[in-house]
């Protein structure tokens, strides 16, 4: 009978225990349901990362990076989160880590309330330092927590270092300008990029420009990493292509140094030089004495922004005579050994009087070139019909762009067919007046004499290189015949004689085949000639292994001997000597009876 109360008590305890468990479970379910349904701030389970692609580099043939892209970052802070008693510490530490003056930081920090950008131009090394500083500032409790009025959650916003864009850097300062050109900043969605404005930066802007940014997006795991599955998106990084040049930094630097010295010696306005491979058209050097720093272009630099080899038109003077003579040869209208009346240095053509510096009674046709006779050339040119003369000059590329891979090239001008029907126009054109062309057009035209009568298209760039190392060669264009091979051979020999016996003697170099022609022409200003000159020498320097065509333009030399023979030719000679010293040209010296050839 006594067991009944004990059983009843056990049942009551069990019932109570079950009831507690059930109620607890209901409370647990209710709590979970409440948490699930209650609106609240939760971290996103979706994440995305963006890495900006960079602009390609410009690299010389000998491996020097002459234009590179540097990524920039900006330092951002919300002033509201900085504790008042810690502001001085913040300014002091930021100054130390960023190498920016405290006064500048203070001015920027107190320029406005809220979010402030302390610097836009932080490089990679500085950015790493400032990221370290950001952690230090949090440990030093420089920032305070502020409650968000909407979420009611307290957060701390510290110092943030975020990408701001890219800057174009030219490590070698004025080197290779204006050929290399310069860029202009463009801002899009708060990120600064650059685009080419002049020179190679402009010509190859599409190829150099970033191809594709890297983007990874999708669901993230507990550690914040993207889960790679069918819902994730991956876009791989593709930087701009690197541009490899035909130009050697070693040669270019030395040519620039030569031009700087010769400009000073001749008190010239500018000197320009171009070296081209006669068979491929590869530009090995294109230099000027007037250069600028692409990262900091000043007002005084504006005249130097144009490339004088391709964007300066001038009357070439006597360097045009070989072109006229070769047209006559190609049409079988002249024999190099026939005699031409030199009129003892004074020749009257209608109302015009033509004079020679060196008078001749009679002169052979080829010596008209060798000794640069205006009188002889004027008479020989009369054998050409206006149309033949006009078409012949155009076949040499005058009035056309050379096709060089540089923007804004000028095409030049020659007298019309109608004008060339005049004997006077025909005469003056034959020795380079009434014609306006560029140095690059002359070099391309003369190169036919050094390339068996065939033209080539000059090219500064050699190829484009991807991040994976794939090389795409720059197409140099189809080669076309300008004059017959026999005409080219005769002209080359005449130009060699011009150097050995005529106006180009200062260019003679033992063991190197040198040929070329001088030209000195009055400068036209306000419709008339002024007492200033441009001097030109276009020639070639050939060895067994290399054939080079070289052009020199000396603008407005202010010395007594302003002629090309005293200015352009010595400049040419110094460049050839430098190429020999650098073992780029190897003279063919054969010792025999004390002679060399």
pLDDT in tens, 336-358: 999 999 999 999 999 999 999 99
Token pair recorded at residue 389: 């003369």
pLDDT class of 48 with cuts at 50, 70, 90: low
Indicate if the pLDDT at residue 593 is higher than 50.
no
pLDDT given at position 464: 97
Global confidence as pTM: 0.84
Token pair recorded at residue 7: 């059983």
Q: What is the mean pLDDT of residues 82-110?
A: 92
Indicate if the pLDDT at residue 592 is higher than 50.
no
Segment among 39-53, 371-385, 418-432 with least mean pLDDT: 39-53
pLDDT given at position 223: 52
pLDDT class of 505 with cuts at 50, 70, 90: very high
How far CA 354 is from CA of 336, 337, 373, 390, in Å, comes to 22, 23, 10, 22
Nearest to residue 542, comparing CAs of 496, 479, 480, 503?
A: 496
pLDDT given at position 12: 72
pLDDT given at position 438: 98
pLDDT given at position 168: 95
Between 539 and 45, residue with greater pLDDT: 539
Segment among 25-39, 460-474, 535-549 with least mean pLDDT: 25-39
pLDDT given at position 28: 74
Q: Is the preceding omega at residue 132 within 30 degrees of 0, hence cis?
A: no
Between 32 and 74, residue with greater pLDDT: 74
Between 32 and 251, residue with greater pLDDT: 251
From first CA to last CA, the distance across the chain in angstroms is 142
Indicate if the pLDDT at residue 589 is higher than 60.
yes
pLDDT in tens, 538-554: 999 999 999 999 999 99
Calpha distance 364→379 (Å, rounded): 12
pLDDT class of 475 with cuts at 50, 70, 90: confident
pLDDT class of 13 with cuts at 50, 70, 90: confident
Q: Are 233 and 217 in contact, with CB atoms under 8 Å apart?
A: yes
pLDDT given at position 260: 98
pLDDT given at position 361: 96
Q: Are 329 and 491 in contact, with CB atoms under 8 Å apart?
A: yes
Indicate if the pLDDT at residue 1 is higher than 50.
no
Per-position DSSP letters for 233-278, written without gaps between them: EEE--BPPPEEEES--HHHHHHHHHHHHHHHHHHT-SEEEEEEEET
pLDDT class of 514 with cuts at 50, 70, 90: very high
pLDDT given at position 413: 96
pLDDT class of 234 with cuts at 50, 70, 90: confident
Residue 50 phi/psi, 5-degree rounding, is: -130, 125
pLDDT class of 271 with cuts at 50, 70, 90: very high
Indicate if the pLDDT at residue 40 is higher than 50.
no
339 bridge partner residues: 364
What percent of the chain has a predicted confidence (pLDDT) above 90? 70
Q: Are 504 and 517 in contact, with CB atoms under 8 Å apart?
A: yes
pLDDT in tens, 422-453: 999 999 999 999 999 999 999 999 999 999 99
Burial 530-560 (b: 16+ CB within 10 A, else e): eeebbbbbbbbbbbeebbbbbbbbbbbbeee
Cα-based angle 571, 573, 576 (whole degrees, multiple of 5): 115
How far CA 29 is from CA of 18, 20, 385, 433, in Å, comes to 16, 14, 107, 101
pLDDT given at position 192: 86
pLDDT given at position 526: 75
pLDDT given at position 43: 45
pLDDT given at position 549: 98
Indicate if the pLDDT at residue 261 is higher than 90.
yes
Q: Are 479 and 261 in contact, with CB atoms under 8 Å apart?
A: no
How far CA 315 is from CA of 303, 412, 435, in Å, comes to 20, 10, 5
Calpha distance 33→120 (Å, rounded): 48
Token pair recorded at residue 494: 């005449």
pLDDT given at position 51: 78
Calpha distance 265→269 (Å, rounded): 11
Q: Residue 6: is it exposed, middle or buried by C-beta count within 10 angstroms (0-12/13-18/19+)? A: exposed
Indicate if the pLDDT at residue 268 is higher than 90.
yes
Between 63 and 43, residue with greater pLDDT: 63
Indicate if the pLDDT at residue 371 is higher than 60.
yes
Which residue in the block uniquely carries the two structure tokens 């008693």? 85
pLDDT class of 39 with cuts at 50, 70, 90: low
Q: State the chain's mean pLDDT as an integer.
A: 90
Indicate if the pLDDT at residue 24 is higher than 60.
yes
Q: What is the mean pLDDT of residues 460-489?
A: 92
Calpha distance 115→497 (Å, rounded): 76
pLDDT class of 34 with cuts at 50, 70, 90: low
pLDDT given at position 307: 98
Half-sphere exposure of 196 (CA within 13 A, CB side): 27
Token pair recorded at residue 214: 């890297």
pLDDT given at position 147: 85
Indicate if the pLDDT at residue 41 is higher than 50.
no
Indicate if the pLDDT at residue 257 is higher than 90.
yes
What percent of the chain has a predicted confidence (pLDDT) above 70? 91
Indicate if the pLDDT at residue 456 is higher than 80.
yes
pLDDT class of 187 with cuts at 50, 70, 90: confident
pLDDT given at position 36: 58
Segment among 215-224, 262-271, 351-360, 436-445 with least mean pLDDT: 215-224
Q: What is the mean pLDDT of residues 264-277?
A: 98
Q: What is the mean pLDDT of residues 116-143?
A: 88
- Domains belonging to the chain, first-starting first, are 47-83+90-245 (3.90.1310.10), 249-292+307-581 (3.40.710.10)
Other CB atoms within 10 A of residue 280 CB: 18
pLDDT given at position 426: 97
Segment among 153-157, 376-380, 575-579 with least mean pLDDT: 153-157
Token pair recorded at residue 320: 């045009």
DSSP classification of residue 434: S
Nearest to residue 409, comparing CAs of 470, 457, 344, 369?
A: 457
Calpha distance 86→88 (Å, rounded): 6
Q: Are 490 and 553 in contact, with CB atoms under 8 Å apart?
A: no
Strands in 30-181 per DSSP E: 46-51, 58-59, 65-78, 115-122, 146-147, 154-155, 160-169
């Amino acid at each position: 009978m006594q067991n009944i109360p004990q059983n009843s008590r056990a049942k009551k305890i069990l019932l109570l225990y079950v009831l507690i468990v059930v109620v607890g479970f209901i409370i647990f379910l209710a709590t979970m349901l409440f948490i699930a349904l209650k609106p609240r701030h939760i971290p996103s389970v979706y994440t995305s990362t963006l890495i900006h692609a960079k602009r390609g580099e410009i690299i010389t043939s000998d491996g020097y990076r002459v234009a590179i892209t540097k990524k920039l970052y900006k330092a951002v802070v919300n002033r509201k989160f900085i504790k008042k008693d810690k502001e001085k510490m913040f300014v002091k530490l930021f100054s130390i880590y960023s190498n920016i003056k405290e006064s500048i930081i203070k001015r920027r920090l107190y320029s406005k309330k809220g979010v402030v950008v302390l610097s836009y131009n932080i490089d990679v090394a500085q950015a790493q330092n400032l990221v370290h500083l950001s952690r230090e500032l949090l440990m030093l409790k420089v920032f305070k927590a502020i409650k968000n009025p909407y979420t009611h959650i307290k957060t701390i916003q510290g110092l943030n270092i975020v990408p701001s864009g890219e800057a174009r850097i030219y490590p070698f300062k004025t080197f290779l300008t204006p050929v290399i050109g310069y860029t202009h900043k463009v801002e899009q969605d708060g990120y600064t990029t650059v685009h080419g404005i002049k020179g190679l930066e402009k010509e190859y802007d599409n190829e150099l420009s970033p191809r594709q940014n890297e983007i990874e997006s999708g669901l993230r795991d507990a550690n914040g990493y993207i889960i790679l599955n069918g819902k994730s998106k991956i876009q791989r990084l593709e930087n701009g292509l690197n541009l490899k040049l035909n130009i050697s930094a070693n040669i270019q630097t030395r040519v620039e140094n030569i031009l700087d010295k010769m400009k000073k010696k001749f008190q010239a306005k500018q000197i320009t030089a171009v070296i081209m491979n006669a068979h491929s058209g590869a530009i090995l050097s294109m230099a000027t004495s007037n250069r600028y720093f692409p990262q900091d272009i000043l007002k005084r630099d504006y005249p130097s922004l144009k490339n004088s080899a391709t964007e300066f038109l001038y009357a070439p003077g006597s360097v045009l005579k070989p072109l006229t003579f070769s047209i006559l040869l190609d049409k079988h209208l002249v024999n190099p050994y026939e005699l031409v009346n030199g009129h003892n240095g004074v020749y009257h053509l209608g109302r015009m009087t033509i004079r020679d510096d060196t008078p001749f009674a009679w002169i052979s046709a080829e010596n008209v070139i060798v000794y640069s006779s205006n009188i002889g050339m004027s008479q020989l040119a009369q054998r050409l019909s206006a149309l033949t003369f006009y078409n012949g000059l155009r076949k040499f590329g005058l009035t056309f762009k050379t096709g060089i891979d540089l923007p804004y090239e000028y095409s030049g001008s020659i007298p019309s067919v109608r004008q060339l029907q005049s004997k006077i126009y025909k005469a003056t054109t034959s020795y380079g007046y009434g014609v306006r062309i560029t140095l690059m057009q002359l070099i391309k035209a003369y190169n036919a004499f050094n390339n068996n009568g065939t033209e080539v298209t000059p090219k500064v760039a050699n190829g484009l290189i991807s991040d994976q190392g794939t090389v795409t060669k720059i197409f140099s264009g189809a080669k076309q015949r300008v004059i017959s091979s026999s005409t080219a051979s005769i002209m080359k020999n005449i130009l060699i004689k011009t150097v050995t016996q005529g106006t180009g003697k200062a260019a003679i170099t033992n063991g190197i085949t040198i040929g070329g022609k001088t030209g000195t022409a009055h400068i036209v200003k306000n419709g008339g000639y002024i007492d200033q000159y441009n001097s030109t020498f276009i020639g070639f320097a050939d060895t067994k292994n290399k054939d080079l065509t070289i052009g020199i333009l000396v603008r407005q030399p202010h010395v007594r001997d302003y002629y090309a023979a005293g200015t352009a030719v010595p400049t040419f000679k110094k460049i050839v000597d430098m190429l020999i010293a650098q073992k780029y040209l190897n003279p063919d010296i054969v010792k025999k009876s004390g002679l060399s050839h």
